[in-house]
Chains A and B, each alone.
Chain A
Amino acid sequence: MKLNKNLKNVLLVVLACFTLSACATNKVSTSQLQGDVYTGKDTVEYLASGVPDRVFFATNESVLTTASRETLRKQAAWLRKNSDVTIVLEGHADERGTREYNLALGERRANAAKDYLMTYGISSDRISVLSYGKERPVDSGSNPLAWSKNRRSVTVKAN
């Protein structure tokens, strides 16, 4: 009987673990998207400690989100400290659009990032822009989360 009760407790704990972990995974996938803008860190690399290299966009949009502007201010601060560094802003789109329009959209996204960096004192001489359209996804998946990771502008050191 006592053994039985112990067993029951163990089972309960195991069950609780399952439900909790299920909740946890659900939470991760929803918390990585705000609207349809990616807010996770999976694909993000760092130019320096605490300076993320990329910002993300909503479908068909090139408007910078609050989080994107914060990231770009960190990049601007880092660029001001490292005044010899030049950068390429690589603009990208997801696979759910026509190729030619996406090339233009990638260019518009990278320029949105460029304009913001310039308002924080980074000279346009140090910035070049390169659009890849939908040609270079980071996540090859065909689902909304993968697409959100691919709608991005990535700041790459050029020298």
Chain B
Amino acid sequence: MNNYINKFFITFLIISLIPTKSFGLIEVDITRGNLNPLPLAVSPLSIEEKSRKSFQELIKKENIGIEISSIVENNLRTSGLFNPLNKDAFLQSPDIANLKPRFEDWNLIKAQALITGKVSYTDEKLRVEFRLWDVLAGKEMMALAFTTVPNNWRRVGHIISDKVYERLTGEKGYFDTRIIYVAEEGPKTKRIKKLAIMDQDGANNKFLTLGNELVLTPRFNPTSQMVTYLSYFRNLPRVYLLDIETGTQEVVGDFPGMTFAPRFSPNGKKIIMSFAKDGNSEIYTMDLENRIVEKITNHPSIDTSPSYSPDGKYICFNSDRSGYQQIYVMKSDGSNVKRISFGKGIYGTPVWSPRGDLIAFTKLHKGKFYIGVMRTDGSGERLLTENFYQEAPSWSPNGRVLVFYRETKTDSKGKGFSAKLWSIDLTGYNERRLKTPTDGSDPSWSSLLSK
């Protein structure tokens, strides 16, 4: 009996491993520019009439299958790596395609990969299964099913996108994520700013503060449940901590002056930030459990914009100790300070990549602003985008995309100013504007919500 179970288990394992480890299947190389996005077909998730009606009542969408597929389609398209084909050209109906695709039909419209699936309403839950097919090889590459509460239907679309991205590129995706940012309104001289949060694709935008006080530079903790940011509450600029679910807020530390430029440590246990006093800004950490405060830098110049390496051993930061803003790296205890930026111009907002190999930054040179990356020793500087004004890059959790904000010039009539969120691939390709209901700045990308 025991033996039988073992045998069964092994056979099962082999069966489930073979399709995913076959040679010659499609792979997408994401290290080069996306000049040839992979053509793929996202067949709408099929759904039975009874389930369709239940979801129509629950989420007020006529066909949840089509809605989820368009989320997947949109995610894959905006990644710049995939070219989802027009549904009008599909020959096979979604339900049949999910059982057994006629690969000749999909080949005919030049699809190299195919996504099919099925959605149903079972025991008051949303159940989705989907399959990824290699059209040329005529093989199933992946099959997954999950069950969740109906309200999570958008996230299902993002999770499918992440699974497909990971299977085809070999790297984790970044679609089931959120972006926190500062929503802006009103004239430049009296700008109203609120914390806002949205899904990575712009859906579910929500304001977290009312705009009564100035708020700046929100950043997620590693689990994306907490946010640290700067608020001018009662005209005292201080670093705050906000629990997104409960809405509770607290001041971080008891500093006799302005604290700013906060970020979490990679384990989420500390907040690193600047404290300004008597014209000198230094970098401090505060342990969130025991409230112990440590001074990390000690120099009579401005030290700010600290960001930890993902292993927590190093900190990159911005200092003008050489006379102008430059990027420095030190050990997390403040020792071994080394300047790493030596190119022409001034450098700010260094932020360590989640992969650990690169530091993204803002650079100002000859009146133009650039977003760029360099290796952690300062070598291999690469500028990704040039503009009138842009700054504050934040990494996607897989370290492949940067989100930042860009401001336009105010003309002589006082018009033309805007602040918008943009993203760009590490390759320098695929620059895109993120849609937000108002102007936006200071974006920060969350980690993957489902790991």
Contacts and interface: CB of A to CB of B under 8 A. Distances in A.
A131 B389 contact: no
A98 B392 contact: yes
Contacts of B214: 135
B279 A107 contact: yes
Interface in A121-140: 129-131, 135-140
Nearest to B235: A130
B325 interface: yes
B69 to A, nearest CB: 39
A100 B349 contact: yes
B191 A135 contact: yes
Interface string B271-312: 000101011110000000000000000000010110000000
Given A107-B276, A136-B189, A100 B237 contact: no
A104, A107, A135: residue with the most chain B Cβ atoms closer than 10 Å: A104
A75 interface: no
Nearest to A124: B278
Contact of A107 (B188, B281, B364, B412): B281
B255 interface: no
A137 B189 contact: yes
B318 to A, nearest CB: 6
B348 A100 contact: yes
Given A105-B302, A115-B279, A142-B410, A100 B217 contact: yes
Interface residues of B, number: 45
B187 to A, nearest CB: 7
A18 interface: no
Interface in B164-188: 187-188
A37 interface: no
Contact of B392 (A99, A107, A112): A99
Contacts of B237: 103, 130-131
Category for how many chain A residues contact B:
20 to 34
A8 B388 CA distance: 49
B324 interface: yes
Interface in B248-273: 257-258, 260-261
Contact of B260 (A62, A100, A110): A100
A100, A112, A136: residue with the most chain B Cβ atoms closer than 10 Å: A100
A117 B214 CA distance: 28
B162 interface: no
Contact of A104 (B188, B276, B417): B276
Contacts of A50: none
B321 interface: no
Nearest to A135: B214
A126 to B, nearest CB: 16
Contacts of A53: none
B260 A103 contact: yes
A101 interface: yes
Contacts of A86: none
A99 B391 contact: yes
B237 to A, nearest CB: 7
Interface in A50-99: 60, 62, 95-99
A103 B258 contact: yes
A101 B318 contact: yes
A148 interface: no
A143 B325 CA distance: 22
A152 interface: no
Contact of B274 (A98, A100, A130, A138): A100
Contacts of A137: 188-189
Contacts of B409: 142
B219 to A, nearest CB: 11
Contact of A98 (B305, B388, B410, B412): B305
B117 to A, nearest CB: 44
B120 interface: no
B146 to A, nearest CB: 40
A136 B232 CA distance: 12
Nearest to B325: A101
Contacts of B261: 100, 103
A75 B139 CA distance: 81
A142 B188 CA distance: 11
Contacts of A139: 189
17 contacts: A95-B389, A97-B325, A97-B348, A98-B325, A98-B362, A99-B216, A99-B442, A101-B325, A101-B348, A105-B302, A107-B279, A108-B281, A108-B302, A115-B279, A139-B189, A140-B414, A143-B412
Given A104-B276, A135-B214, 19 more contacts: A95-B389, A98-B305, A98-B349, A98-B362, A99-B217, A100-B304, A100-B348, A101-B305, A103-B260, A105-B302, A108-B276, A108-B281, A111-B279, A131-B237, A135-B216, A136-B190, A140-B410, A140-B414, A141-B412
Q: Which 5 A-B pairs have the closest CB atoms?
A: A111-B279, A98-B348, A140-B188, A104-B281, A100-B261
